[in-house]
Amino acid sequence: MKIVAIIAAFNEADIIATVVDDLIQQGISVYFLDDASTDRTIAAVEPFVGRGVIAIERMVPSNGDFDWERILRRKAQLARELDADWFIHHDADEFRESPWPHLTLAEAIRLVDAAGYNAIDFQSFNFWPVHDDFKPGTDVRAAYPYYSERAPFDRVQIRCWKKAADVDLILSGGHEARFAGRNVFPLRFVLRHYPIRGQAHGERKIFEERRKRFRAEERARGWHVQYDDVADGMSMVRAAETLQEYDGDAVRIGLALRHRGVEELEAALDDRRTALGEARATIIRQHHDLQAALQELESRTLDLEAHKREIAVRRQEMDRAAAALAASRVEAASHLEARRAQVEELEAELKHRADHIAALDLAIARMAEIVQLRDVEIRNWKRSLDDAIHRIHAVEDSWSWRLTAPLRALARLIRRR
C-alpha cells in the first residue's frame, strides 16, 4: 500500500530536511510543493528526490500573497491524480507519529485501513522554543521538547485519508478532508508541530512571511488567526515551566484512554446531562408553576365561593323582585281590565254621540235645504218687491202722478181732520 504526504512549504529550510527524512523513514512517500521560497528550502529537499520524494513542484508566485486556498486546491487535485492508496495533507513544520510506539506511521495507517476505516484524526501538540540556540538542520524535536495543546480552532486535524473520488480541503480551511462516506478511526494519531524555532525565526515568519502576505478574503473567512495574539516585540522564547515536557508513552496512553469514541460518549453524556439538567429545571419550573397554579386555584375557589354566596343573595333578591313583579302584573291586569271597561264605556258613549252627531248632521242638512228653499223664496219675494218699488217709482215719476199731487195732499189733510 502506497502512502503519500503532500507537503507545501515557504522558507522552511531550517527544518524541512528533518521533516521529509522522518516521513521517508516511516514508510511515507512525499510530493513536495514549493510556494516560491526565497531561501534554501528546495535545496534541502532535492537530495531526497528518487529516495522517497516523488517530485518537487515549484508553484508560480501568487503576487507575493500567501494564497492558502490555491495550495489546498492543488493538494486535493494531486490526491485525485497521484497513484497512491492514502494521502496526508502535511505541513512543513510538523511530525506525525503512530499511536502505537512499535509501529511506524505507514504500518499504523495500514492497520487502520485493514480495520475498515478511511480517515485518521491527529492530536496536535504545539512545541515552543525554551531557548534561542536552535541550529538549522538539526532535529528540532530534541531541541524543543516542551509543548502546549493547540487552540480550539486548530484541534480538528482529520488530514489523512484513503483515496476518494472527491475530497474537499477548502471548506474547513485545511483542517480536515471532507468526502462522502468518511469513517474516522477513533484513536487519534500524534501530531508534533514546531511553528517557531527561535526569536529571529518567529519575528521573520510571523511579521514578514505570514501576516503581511495573508489575503484579506481568506482572513474574512476566519482563516489565519493563529498569530493574532502575537504583538510586535513579544518574546518568542517561552519559559519551560509554563509548558509541558513531552512524554511519548504518556501521550499515547492518554490518546488510547480518551479516543474519539470516548469523546463521543462524553459528548453524548454531556448532552444527556444537559438534557437532564434542562429536564430538572423544567420539572422545578413546572413544580413552581403547579404551586402557583394551586394557589391560584385556591384563590379562585375562594372567589367562586364568594361569588356563589353573592349569586344566592342575588337569587333571593330576584325571587322577591319576581314576586313583586307577579303582584304588579296581577294589579296591572286588574287595572288594565278596569281601563278596558272604561274604554268600552267610552267607546259606547262615543258611538252614541257619533249617532247623535249623525242625526244632527241630517237635521242640519234638512235645515240647509229649508234655508236654501227659503233663500230662494226670499230672493223671489225680494225680486217681486223690487219690481213693485220700481213700478211705484215709475208711477211717481210719471206726469199723471205729478199732476195729481195737489189732490193727494188735500186728501191727506181731510183724513187728518
Given a contact cutoff of 8 angstroms between Cβ atoms, the answer to whether 196 and 129 are in contact is: yes
CA distance 171 to 352: 116
> Is pLDDT of 89 > 80?
yes
Number of helices and strands in the chain (H, E)? 11, 11
Average pLDDT of 388-408?
Answer: 79
pLDDT reported for residue 288: 87
CA distance 328 to 379: 71
**Residue 203, C-beta contacts closer than 8 angstroms, at least 6 positions apart:** 236
Rg, Å, the chain Cα set = 65
Given a contact cutoff of 8 angstroms between Cβ atoms, the answer to whether 226 and 242 are in contact is: no
CA distance 379 to 271: 133
CA distance 211 to 225: 10
Tell me which H or E stretch contains 409: helix 405-416
> Is pLDDT of 2 > 90?
yes
Given a contact cutoff of 8 angstroms between Cβ atoms, the answer to whether 144 and 236 are in contact is: no
The alpha carbon of 100 is separated from its chain's Cα centroid by a whole number of angstroms, namely 49
Model confidence over 200-256: pLDDT tens digits? 999 999 999 999 999 999 999 999 999 999 999 999 999 999 999 999 999 999 999
Average pLDDT of 366-392?
Answer: 84
Model confidence over 256-305: pLDDT tens digits? 998 787 777 777 777 888 788 888 888 888 888 888 988 888 889 898 88
Give me 75's grid cell.
493538494
Dihedral of the alpha carbons of 45, 48, 53, 54, in degrees to the nearest 10: 110
Give me 286's grid cell.
413546572
CA angle 72-73-77, nearest 5°? Answer: 115
Specify the amino acid at residue 254: G
Q: How confident is the model at residue 326 (pLDDT cuts 50, 70, 90)?
A: confident
- Tell me the H-state helices in 100-207: 105-114, 140-143, 199-203
Highest-scoring range by mean pLDDT, 48-57, 324-333, 408-417:
48-57
Tell me which H or E stretch contains 90: strand 86-91
Task: Write down the residue that cell numbers 506525525 correspond to.
Answer: 96
CA distance 295 to 283: 18
Give me 213's grid cell.
502576505
Query: What residues pair up with 57 in beta bridges, in sequence order?
Result: 33
Kindly report the CATH class assigned to 3-257: alpha beta
Q: How confident is the model at residue 61 (pLDDT cuts 50, 70, 90)?
A: confident
CA distance 158 to 171: 13
CA angle 73-194-59, nearest 5°? Answer: 30
Tell me which H or E stretch contains 315: helix 260-396
The closest of 49, 9, 21 to 141, measured between CA atoms, is: 21
pTM to 2 decimal places: 0.67
Q: What residue ranges do the domains of the chain occupy?
A: 3-257, 277-403
CA distance 185 to 403: 180
Given a contact cutoff of 8 angstroms between Cβ atoms, the answer to whether 157 and 176 are in contact is: yes
Q: How confident is the model at residue 147 (pLDDT cuts 50, 70, 90)?
A: very high
CA distance 243 to 47: 35
Average pLDDT of 66-76?
Answer: 96
Given a contact cutoff of 8 angstroms between Cβ atoms, the answer to whether 197 and 15 are in contact is: yes
**Residue 201, C-beta contacts closer than 8 angstroms, at least 6 positions apart:** 14, 134, 236
Cα 344 to Cα 21, 335, 338, 348, distances in angstroms: 136, 14, 10, 6
Query: What residues pair up with 95 in beta bridges, in sequence order?
Result: 192
Beta-strand relationship, 160-162 and 119-120: antiparallel
